[in-house]
Chain A
């Protein structure tokens, strides 16, 4: 037996929630599916205040933004149907989805699909990198901020992008000692205000440094770091040992595109966007008509951009199905402007380069 739905949104993180809200505002019926017990994606574990402008909830703590976005969607109980604890296990080119909720297996025929499945943490290759106690930084955030469990007492953070810096600060807030943040590049990757907060706490940030190996019998007990030269080669004799009971790896995110690969839309490898990303039109449509992608699944960026992309995609998908939002034109202009501003600074350079590569256009400036 196959269930019929109009617009199916896979993923109820910031991007999926915003897409659902906008589509519902336009009068479009939505089925919102998420594999987690809670909605909100990665927002639910963010305890820090967000950046961006007021339109993207700047100054609001991540988990409060999640609450707001979920409330926005729940304002339309007749239009938005929510399936949580539900994993989309199959996505087919005729727009059929197969969904597993516990032991219940359902098949859905959709008219339009938005894939907002977000991203997953990259892994780093080093000796014994599979020892228990070595976590992705996002995992540590989830453990601490969602479940209230400390991952350890003494940690080293590998990676100084925003995630590495923010999670280090949150570890200190939870009473966990961060011995050092190490970064393979010569400079700190994330916002310097995050780095400055850590330095005030006495946390050492060491650049041109990477993790060489982890040591331990059934779990990590020590790590060895080593300094790198300009060619990213290990400098012999610069090894340093740290006694730890946990290690966080924060070396970047990769878009979760397995469902998009399954449905057969065109994917392209763009390093600046985090890996394999779908080829999209300006309206976030993939090469399969009626299938859209937005948020980190379409390219790694910030939550602020994920939200704006979600709003745009929700508007576009609803319009495709015949429900045009009363303020469609004004909203589209404003939303695209918001994205441009978010991407126009020095931190946006990588995204702009990546997006240009995706469109096959050479970066002009």
Chain B
């Protein structure tokens, strides 16, 4: 499925999520399914929570005990394959990378989109950060309904045709 259509199967996606008990604290979900020579997620993590090793073709492994969900890996991944996830009472909080215009603003309501690019619900924009270190990749914090935990991956402007 990934190799033919470009999006992972539901099983592949679930395999990158830790258990719901662990997700009460924000954790990095690293959706890197393929061996490519790349390691910025590992070298950027200040808590050494992501391991790749000397062979940079290895897929990254997250140590959820060390991960604090800070989000540095989210804007460091050249493939934009990482999000941070935190399960709340009836919502899920995600921190996602975003590189398009218009830039979302706090308080706005945007479409919630799945890995196939389909609109699946609404995303409430909680916070948008851009520091010089992020080098133009916005870090957008959103809230979506809990049932979209394994579906949600990004946002889309409600004005988009």
**A interface with B by C-beta (< 8 Å):** 48-54, 58-61, 64, 172-173, 175, 186-188, 191-203, 205, 207, 304, 341-348
Could you write out 15 A-B pairs with CB less than 8 Å apart? A52-B56, A193-B36, A193-B81, A195-B2, A195-B6, A195-B7, A196-B8, A200-B153, A201-B117, A201-B156, A203-B117, A304-B37, A341-B55, A343-B37, A344-B55
Distance between A20 CB and nearest chain B CB, rounded to angstroms: 25
Kindly state the interface size class of chain B when it binds its partner.
35 or more
CA distance A187 to B8 in the complex (A): 13
CA distance A193 to B3 in the complex (A): 10
Contact B38 A58 (CB under 8 A): yes
Chain B, residue nearest A343 (CB): B37
Within 8 A of A (CB), among B67-94: 76-81
Q: Which residues of A contact B113 (CB under 8 A)?
A: 200, 202
Distance between A186 CB and nearest chain B CB, rounded to angstroms: 7
Tell me, yes or no, whether B122 is within 8 Å of chain A by CB: no
Partner-binding segment picked from B15-23, B27-35, B124-132: B27-35
Q: Which residues of B contact A191 (CB under 8 A)?
A: 34, 36, 79
Chain A, residue nearest B34 (CB): A192
Contact A192 B3 (CB under 8 A): yes
Q: Which of A58, A195, A203, A348 contacts B39 (CB 8 A)?
A: A58
Contact A207 B40 (CB under 8 A): no
Chain A, residue nearest B5 (CB): A205
Distance between B11 CB and nearest chain A CB, rounded to angstroms: 15
CA distance A341 to B58 in the complex (A): 11
Distance between A68 CB and nearest chain B CB, rounded to angstroms: 13
Contact B40 A345 (CB under 8 A): no
Q: A193-B77, A199-B115 are in contact. List 20 more A-B contacts (CB 8 A).
A: A48-B78, A49-B77, A53-B39, A59-B76, A173-B100, A175-B101, A186-B4, A191-B79, A192-B2, A192-B3, A193-B80, A196-B7, A196-B8, A196-B31, A196-B115, A199-B117, A201-B117, A202-B156, A345-B36, A346-B35
